[in-house]
Structure 1
Amino acid sequence: MTTTSNTATIPPQALEGLKVIELGQLIAGPFAGKTLADFGADVIKIEPPAAEGAAGGDPLRQWRMLHNGTSVWWQFQSRNKKSVVLDLRTEEGRDIVRRLIDEADVVIENFKPGTMEKWGMAYEDLSQRNPGLIMLRISGYGQTGPYRERPGFAVVAEAMGGMRYLNAEPGRVPVRAGVSLGDTLAGLHGAIGILLALQARQRSISPEAPKGRGQVVDVALYEAVFNCMESLLPEFSAFGAIRQPAGSALPGIAPSNAYPCADGMVVIGGNGDSIFKRLMIAIARDDLATDPELASNPGRVKRVAEIDAAIGAWTATRPVDQVLDVLNAASVPVGRIYNAQDIAHDPHYRARDMILPVTTHDGLTVEVPGIIPKLSGTPGVIQRRGPMLGEDTEAVLAALKKP
């Protein structure tokens, strides 16, 4: 189990004892914080107070579909965190945050570069007070370079990182994936960077640095996207090839595509040599299965249109369930294209605790994505629902050491 309300049953936590101050808002920085909190880190989220015409708190609280004024998305992004309200526009608020950071291992921020410096919280200043501090800084373009001061959102990062250009049908306007992939990828890279920096800090422990030395983890949204673009740059560098959009196909790897069925669509990955043979036999195209030119990927790429047509002709006359049954029996990778309802009703998701219930403060049960990766000895746990705005301010500040 990865969710519990009884602290006595909580298994050992991989990041238990790690103290994190989260200053970021919306998606990228808070996603990194969520990832750490899922594995036991004590994540204290600093949120702004309500101002004239604004509800206060992380703007994500008001994004998309709301229950009693709060986004249900909040229950996923901010689970396991504590909420403390402080006004970073005031010296009093900044002073309290500095004191919290003095006692922390990690601080996460995803403001425009220069904002922390403007507030008197540059890493150089904070690390003088806390030499072991690790600071994750997520921004659109990074902390250096000619674009560092430009505002950056995931939608722009996905475009600059090369993803948006490819995400289209040939000759049509590129589309977005439907979620903020640039933010999530940056958050994951940020969490990895923090773990790397913690390992390096542990190795740097010495009499002069009893807690070890911290460092800055600099993550740019566009770089997080670019890091996942596979062959895009090497192929241009080596051959001058500019990879082009190809819809649901995967150019240069065949067959791998979406195919119409009598009552929907499926995705099939038949691009392994032995898999391709099993696929062709399953669809009664033994002639293609035994064709020597199609025995390896380069030959299949040359005749991909013919192969796709053969697969599509077979799937088009059969319902999705039949296609799944036949190809699964043949050990060919195949899948239905899921929507939210498909995910919620899938028994495999539930068997692996990838759909877990969280109860809000006012009694609404919301199902949220489970925790990954799955650790055998120190699995992640959902210990707390997403906090109400400022819910933990009094308790956190009462425990703060006096200046």
Structure 2
Amino acid sequence: MLEVGEMVAAPFCTKLMADLGADVVKVEPPGKGDPSRWRGPFPDDEVHPERSALFLYLNTSKRSVTLDLASEAGREIFARLVEGVDVLVEDRKPGEMAALGLGYDDLAARDPRIIVTSVTPFGQTGPRKLHRSQHLNLYHSSGHASPFKKREAVEAGGSRAPARAGGYLGEYDAGLSAAVATLGAVLGREVTGAGQNVDVSKQEAMMNLERVIIGISANAPDPFAGRSPGGLVRAKDGYVNVITLEDHQWEGLLRAMGNPEWSRADWCQSKASRQEHADQIEEQVGAWAAGLTRDEIYHCVQAEGTPASPVRNVAEVMAWEQTKARGFFRELPHPEAGTQLYPTAAYQFSETPWAGARAPLLGEHNDAIYGRALGIPPAELESLAGSRVI
């Protein structure tokens, strides 16, 4: 596989493929490389292109070459790189690769079996296809920002400032969708013998993965109406999430609380009346929870058949006995970033262990791929590097 991708979505797609055993070669601009190399966070907050946690995570198990696709020499080398490649994943704006003579039609004319996955904000077609987008724009154009309405603002008839989830959650959604679609194209090629262009819209990926909650939050006059009491409850050492959507879950919570006197009131006896009095009920639940720890609430509520889960921070998740028992975090040594703990894959095969490797240094594999694989002589490689083609 070849990757011409930056930041999150396209690199996450190829990372998922690399975790499954694909040989991924990442093509980066000479000099600075993928912008995620400069985004961090960084160990000790010292900015360094080989120590960005974002880059290191998104690019495990890949090889890196540097190449200037805007130069004629660079495009000629890229055309040679593509020969024999199964999949190209790219995230350039629609028409950019074609303008360089490297679009899907150009590549398919040379190799009809090639699969080109194109990941863009709004897809390769439609009136908005050339619009650029940041993560915040994607959240609002997909409807994902609707669930972030503040209740006070809704009740006052207004709205809140633009909001999104933390990190790059929407970009990861797009990368996951791109990986699934790419694997589908690979399987399809086994039947038809032909490749195809996989057109991934980040906006559509986000709408597809959260379509129900988006519809409710965006269209309901009051998205908070009809909610069951519960949700985030403050314990004396943090928060616990408690779910009481069903009658048996509500009854389990009451048993965990010792069947308090207030729960015998008429307004607690039906789901509709509990929804109407959710605020009042949550005050009572909050007063009970304030004297207990997260784990105490978690265990006693779960024991009664009611879903509950403590809200953990990153350090707690990494130290949690569950993640330790499954070996989800693994140490990988890196020549610049040192040895760090990395998340592995979100699944485990019974016969095939995760075999991830560290992320590459910028252009680390230029000699191996350009020199040994493509046969470019050392003197020519030196000249290409001097002219910043590689």
What is the TM-score of this pair, normalised by structure 2?
A: 0.85
Q: Partner of 1:324 in structure 2? A: 298
| Cross-structure match for 2:358 | 385
Cα 1:274/1:89, change in 2 over 3 Å: same
| Structure 1 segment 245-394 matched on structure 2, within 5 A | 252-285=226-259, 300-362=274-336, 364-382=338-356, 384-394=357-367
Equivalent-residue separation in structure 1 for 2:353 and 2:374 (angstroms): 31
Which residue does 2:384 correspond to in 1?
none
Provide the secondary structure at the position in 1 that maps to 2:312. Answer: coil
Deviations 1:63-97 (A, max 9, x none): 12335713133221111000011111111111221
Residues 143, 214 of structure 2: 8 Å contact kept: no
Kindly state the Cα deviation for residue 343 of structure 1 after the two structures are TM-superposed: 1.5
Q: For residue 155 of structure 1, what is the aligned residue in structure 2?
A: 136
Is the 8 Å Cα contact of residues 232 and 243 (structure 1) preserved in structure 2? no
Equivalent of residue 185 in structure 1, options 154, 173, 190: 173
Aligned to 1:215: 196
- Whether contact under 8 Å (1:155, 1:180) holds in the other structure is no
Distance (Å, rounded) in 2 between the aligned partners of 1:215 and 1:295? 58
CA–CA separation in structure 1 for the residues paired with 2:257 and 2:2: 56
Matched, 1:62 2:43: no
How much has 1:337 moved relative to structure 2?
Answer: 1.8
- Contact map agreement 2:57 2:342 (CA 8 A) in 1: yes
- Retained in 1: the 8 A contact 2:235–2:294? yes
Does the 8 Å CA contact 2:216/2:223 hold for their aligned counterparts? no
Change (3 A) 1:264 1:161: same
For 2:30 and 2:313, how far apart are their aligned partners in 1?
A: 37
Cα distance, 1:396 vs structure 2? 1.4
Secondary structure of the structure 2 residue equivalent to 1:148:
coil
> What's the Cα RMSD here?
2.6
Distance 2:267 2:40 in 1: 51
**Match for 1:201 among 189, 192, 200?**
189
Q: Distance in 1 between matches of 2:269 and 2:324?
A: 38
Q: CA deviation at 1:161?
A: 0.7
Do the aligned residues in 2 keep the contact of 1:22 with 1:45 (CA within 8 Å)?
Answer: yes
Which residue does 2:117 correspond to in 1? Answer: 136
Q: Alpha-carbon deviations, 1:101-130, whole Å to 9, x = none?
A: 221111011111111111111111111111
**2:230 is the alignment partner of 1:242:** no
- Poorly superposed stretches of 4+, deviation over 6 Å: 286-296
- Distance in structure 2 (CA, Å) of the matches to 1:104 and 1:253: 51
Instruction: Return the alpha-carbon distance in structure 2 between the equivalents of residues 21 and 87 of structure 1.
Output: 15
Displacement after TM superposition at 1:262 (Å): 2.4
The answer for the alignment partner of 2:100 in structure 1 is 119
Preserved contact between residue 98 and residue 106 of structure 2 (Cα < 8 Å): no
Give a deviation string over 1:24-72, Cα, whole Å, max 9, x none: 111110000100001110000001111xxxxx11111111233571313
Further displaced range: 102-111 or 282-291: 282-291
Residue of 12, 19, 35 corresponding to 1:38: 19
1:165 is displaced (CA, Å) by: 2.6
* C-alpha distance in structure 2 between counterparts of 1:316 and 1:392, whole Å: 56
Hey, which of these two has a bigger chunk of helix by percent? 2
Contact 2:117 2:178 in 1 (8 A): yes
Residue 361 of structure 1 aligns to a residue whose secondary structure is: coil
Say yes or no: does 1:225 pair with 2:194. Answer: no
| SS of residue matched to 1:137 | strand
1:374 aligned counterpart, secondary structure: coil
> Please, which moves more after superposition, 310-319 or 82-91?
310-319
Instruction: Please state if 1:87 is matched with 2:75.
Output: no
SS of the residue 2:145 aligns to: helix
Q: Mapping of 1:18-33 within 5 angstroms?
A: 20-33=1-14
Distance apart, 1:303 and its partner CA: 4.0
Moved more, 393-402 or 136-145: 393-402
The amino acid across from 1:131 in the alignment is: P
Give me the whole-angstrom Cα distance separating, in 2, the residues matched to 1:232 and 1:263.
30
Deviation at 1:146, TM superposition (A): 0.7
- Give the Å deviation of 1:336: 2.1
Q: How many angstroms apart in 2 are the aligned matches of 1:243 and 1:185? A: 28
Q: 2:87 aligns with which of 86, 106, 116?
A: 106
How has the CA–CA distance of structure 1 residues 342 and 232 changed in structure 2, closer, same or farther, with 3 Å as cutoff?
Answer: closer
Q: Distance in 2 between matches of 1:338 and 1:347?
A: 13
Of 101-110 and 296-305, deviating more is 296-305
Q: Which runs of no fewer than 5 residues in structure 2 stay unpaired? A: 154-159, 377-390
Do 1:39 and 1:379's aligned partners in 2 also have CA atoms closer than 8 Å?
A: no
The verdict on how the C-alpha distance between 1:400 and 1:296 changes in structure 2, with shifts beyond 3 A counting, is farther
Could you tell me how far apart the structure 1 residues matched to 2:269 and 2:345 are?
40
Q: For 1:202, give the aligned amino acid.
A: E
Letter in 2 for 1:351: A
Q: Pick closer, same or farther for the CA change 1:106–1:326 going to 2, 3 Å.
A: same
